Amino acid sequence: MPMKNPPHPSKVVRVSCLEPLGLNVTEGAKILGISRQALSNLVNCRARISTDMAIRLAKAFGSTTETWIRLQAA
């Protein structure tokens, strides 16, 4: 059953991935192998989670690519 108001993927990245590890955007970007600006755009709702980004997030933070794609599609 879909959530009525699913969290925006950017909030999930920030709250579930970066904050628990004490990472800022610069550190998170290094882990993901992307520019600081690209991650900043994502966590500030200025970019969508692409398939490539979903793969990077899944590998870096122990989730699945499908999870990130579904979050973006919700």
pLDDT at 2: 58
pLDDT at 65: 96
Residues spanned by the domain of 13:
9-73
Digit-coded pLDDT (tens) for 3-52 = 577 778 888 999 999 999 999 999 999 999 999 999 999 999 999 999 99
**pLDDT (average), residues 64-69:** 94
Report yes or no on 32 lying in a domain: yes
Residue 45: CB atoms within 10 Å: 11
Phi/psi-derived region of residue 62, left when phi > 0, alpha when psi is between -120 and 50, beta in every other case: left
Residue 73 reports pLDDT greater than 90: no
pLDDT at 31: 97
Report yes or no on 31 lying in a domain: yes
Q: Which of 4, 1, 21, 8 is nearest to 73 (CA)?
A: 8
Quick one: tokens of 67? 């999870």
Report yes or no on 17 lying in a domain: yes
Helices (H), the chain: 9-12, 25-32, 36-43, 51-61, 65-73
